[in-house]
Structure 1
Amino acid sequence: MNRKLLTGGLTALIVLFLGAHALSPVLAVQGLTRAAKTGDEAALRRLVDFPEFRSSLKDELNAELVARMHADPRSDNPVLSGLGMLLAPSLVSGMVDAFVTPQAISTMVRSAEAPDPMRRTDRSEAPAATEGTADTVRQSWAYRDLNTFAVTLTNSRHPDRHLALLMQRRGLFGWKLAGIDLSEPSADDAI
């Protein structure tokens, strides 16, 4: 009888551990969303790995900028095109370093809108805080791998645009926002 009780208790602990392990990113996403809605900078600083997020955003924006430059019919001049390719990463890097703050993360989560490297942005042109309310931003969740959890945000005003925030596992149950994916989500990226 003791053996059955021990086996049952151990099985229950394993199931509980696996459930908590699998659901922990959902709780982290809910915390991130709540902090973004309330403007809780301290919580956002705890929930975001700013150096990794900046690096990821730079990579994504540089890739998007290069793709746009290649698609631009005015890029036939190889000298100007080459110069643009050399200068673009520096410009994007400076922009991202200045842009990625707790307030910017909050705005991105509330509006489901990523920064556009081709759009001239002034502080006065930042999206309004009311632009993406909880009623207009839809979330879909999916594991990308065992340690990466993607939260794809879609604003109902722009259903063709998606913003995927990548949460990375920190320890057994901890998660931090550490990346962004601006590419179009695939059909199996949503739960």
Structure 2
Amino acid sequence: MSRTTRSVVAALVVLILVAALGFIYASPYIALDRVKRAADARDAQTVNQYVDFPALRASLKEQVAALLTRRVDIQKSGNPLAIIGAMIGAALVGPLVDSYATPDGVAAILNGIPPRGDPGERPPQAGDSASASAANAPASGVTTAQQAPKAPPQTTAGYRNLNTFVVTYQHGAGDARYSAIFRRDGLVSWKLVAVDLNG
């Protein structure tokens, strides 16, 4: 093998290695894009490939329960009716979690509409508009997560460590942040496994 041929082969090997490493690095961004598109389209089969629903359900239960506990702690010295409302909300954690551990819920989470822990809360359904949600709430007694934001949230994404990828959402400088957490599931596969409502 001539020196020129060896140089070309070495350059090709380096190029292939760099491309493979680039793909591995970009894999969570690709997974995020795919699961968001699938969730927006309510493509349950594809969403199932990118979401670990048992892990997401456990995370949501823990996060919403903590959110309600903080709300009760803040309101202890305040209005007793507010405390009763928070306690009712705590009793409804299961149905709220079940409604968010769905393609509709995943779409809401990845579009900047996290659960707030309100009694009867559910994520917007496919095709819901903000006005339809607002009109539906008083009549049915069930609230949607929140009206769809007018502008998309500010989003930052990056690796927390080699096997954890975090997407953080915030609508404005003073607004609360929350994060969607993905875990590596193989070399280039990632799954949504948790939500951090504290940012």
C-alpha deviation, 1:10, in angstroms: 2.3
The alignment of Structure 1 onto Structure 2 pairs a total of residues equal to: 169
C-alpha deviation, 1:159, in angstroms: 6.0
Q: Given the two structures, how large is their TM-score scaled by the length of structure 1? A: 0.74
CA deviations over 1:86-144 (Å, ceiling 9, x no partner): x95x753453135421112122323x121122x2125542247x8247x5233211111
Separation in structure 1 between the aligned mates of residue 154 and residue 40 of structure 2, nearest angstrom: 14
- 1:67 partner SS: helix
- Which of 43, 47, 58 aligns to 2:46? It is 43
Separation in structure 2 between the aligned mates of residue 181 and residue 60 of structure 1, nearest angstrom: 7
- 1:125 partner SS: coil
* Aligned partners of 2:92 and 2:120 also within 8 Å: no
Larger Rg: 2
Distance change in 2, residues 1:155/1:35 (3 Å) = farther
Question: Kindly, what percent of the aligned residue pairs are identical?
Answer: 28
Letter in 2 for 1:115: P
More relative contact order, 1 or 2 (CA 8 Å, 6+ apart): 1
Q: Which shifted more, 48-57 or 98-107?
A: 98-107
Q: Which residue of 2 is the match for residue 126 of structure 1?
A: 144
Q: Which residue of 1 is the match for residue 182 of structure 2?
A: 167
Separation in structure 1 between the aligned mates of residue 149 and residue 196 of structure 2, nearest angstrom: 19
**What stretches of structure 1 of length at least 5 have no aligned partner?**
185-191
**What stretches of structure 2 of length at least 5 have no aligned partner?**
123-141
* Aligned partners of 1:140 and 1:151 also within 8 Å: yes
Separation in structure 2 between the aligned mates of residue 137 and residue 50 of structure 1, nearest angstrom: 24
Letter in 1 for 2:8: L
C-alpha deviation, 1:41, in angstroms: 2.4
Q: Given the two structures, how large is their TM-score scaled by the length of structure 2? A: 0.71
Q: Which shifted more, 25-34 or 147-156?
A: 147-156
Q: Which residue of 2 is the match for residue 8 of structure 1?
A: 11
- Flag as ranges the 4+ runs of structure 1 deviating above 3 A: none
- Which of 156, 159, 176 aligns to 1:140? It is 156
Please tell me the root mean square deviation across aligned C-alpha atoms, in Å. Answer: 2.9
